[in-house]
Amino acid sequence: MRARTDGADHLVAADEPLAGFQIRAGGAVPGAIVMPALLSLVRRVRRTGQSASRAIQSVDEGRSVAAWALVTPEGDGTAIELSQWHQSEEAAAETPVSEALLRHLAEAEILLDDAQRVIAANVRAGDLAGLAAALEAGRGRYWTEFVRIERVSDLMTTRQGPLHWRLLDDAPFSVLGSPRSWRARIIPRVQGGFTLLAVPETAETLPEPTPKPTPAPDAATNAGASEPGWSRLLGRELAPALRQPITRIIANAETIRTRLAGPLAEEYAGYARDIADAGRHLMSLIEDLADLEAVEAPGFAPAPDRIDLADCARRAAGILSVRAQERGITLRTPGETAHVPAIGEFRRVLQVLLNLVTNAIRYSPEGSVVRLETGEDARGAWIAVQDEGQGLDAEQAERVFNKFERLGRSGDGGSGLGLYISRHLAQAMGGDLVVTSAPGEGARFELTLPPDRGA
């Protein structure tokens, strides 16, 4: 199907079923694009003047919708071609936060068929230009022929094609012509086939970190002295080893739950759902522990980027929009014309915001509003998340950033590490994370970062 947009990124013409989706979602033709992933792609193409393609996903009347979008510049606007449009017969499931974040971090997105053969690719990284050309010329071949898979390459044969996708998910790989290391994240698509995300493995420390004060000798007990070694073992050694088997457990449980492997009694489908949920919870704990090790490592320093806090706010709200809708909570973000330039590592800032907004949704009453506000003052650039929950008293506000602190809550699935890690990340980026609150008046968490004076 085809569609066109104007210089204001409004959809001025569209074939079915995109036109029908636009209207059912509350939009119009002509009118503003209501599909966030498509709108983001259109804006990028119009801004850069270069064609781009990617897999897009959304929800249409409670059902998952997916397609492959190719957008090219055309006059003041763009021309859109959508292929492989598919609507799931099952109710849409919320996109995991980790998956949505991976899509933002990925520098190449490759569409694969059921056998993991290349259908199309959208490569954004300059050092993957050779890979982009090879993929374009090699459509229909296995994606593993274009990269070097580390550690499992000896198990692969070109005659049989690649390993099962669950064995390759999160596998490290290298690309000829790129000095960086990469990881393959493979996501099954609702209409069959896969989306392969190439995510760079970035360094967690700078070559010359700022020295940190050494604790006094009597400040550490024997238990405390042994804690860093245990933390390093858990985050650096065990976390990578555990991710793959847990991912397989989740994927197998979902295969059983959705009855892709054959008919199954509802009772056992429920068991499979519980297994998948438990696996996701365990995976989130592992990710928290890996982040804990990173932020507590000597010399930890995120890589500074030039970012826009207003854009980060809109992205975080987009990722968590389904979760908010499920509880009838409205997420209000800065307008499209709002821009607050700052210096900070994009993925770490987004990680902090996702944690803050997730907490706000979790502890706010149904039907309330969560506001994401941005600005700049004498302290620097800032972004705040304000909820309408029960709020915190002075003693709780003092404790909320402590490690493993959950303020007496139980059964909510949290590790008590999110705010502790978020504050460490904020401070490592030259800013801070603070809270202002009062009982019955909600809580306001504010992240400050150095402003980007050169923007």
pLDDT for 260? 65
Q: By C-alpha distance, which of 119, 268, 263 is closest to 194?
A: 119
Asked if residue 339 lies in contact with residue 306, where contact means CB atoms within 8 angstroms, the answer is no
Helix (H) or strand (E) holding 211: none
Strand partners, 381: 376, 449
pLDDT for 100? 64
Q: Quote the CA–CA distance of 247 and 251 in Å, as a whole number.
A: 6
pTM for the complete prediction? 0.56
pLDDT for 430? 92
pLDDT for 204? 34
pLDDT for 387? 93
pLDDT for 217? 42
pLDDT for 324? 86
Tell how strand 148-149 and strand 330-332 pair up.
unpaired
pLDDT for 199? 86
Asked if residue 231 lies in contact with residue 293, where contact means CB atoms within 8 angstroms, the answer is yes
* pLDDT per position as a tens digit, 427-444: 999 999 999 988 888 899
pLDDT for 99? 65
Helix (H) or strand (E) holding 325: helix 321-326
CA angle 444, 446, 450 (to 5 degrees): 170
CA atoms within 13 A on the CB side of 134: 14
Residues of the chain below pLDDT 50: 91-95, 153-159, 203-231, 411
Query: Token pair 């199907």 is at which residue?
Result: 1
Which residues, 6+ apart, have CB-to-CB distance to 454 below 8 Å?
A: 306
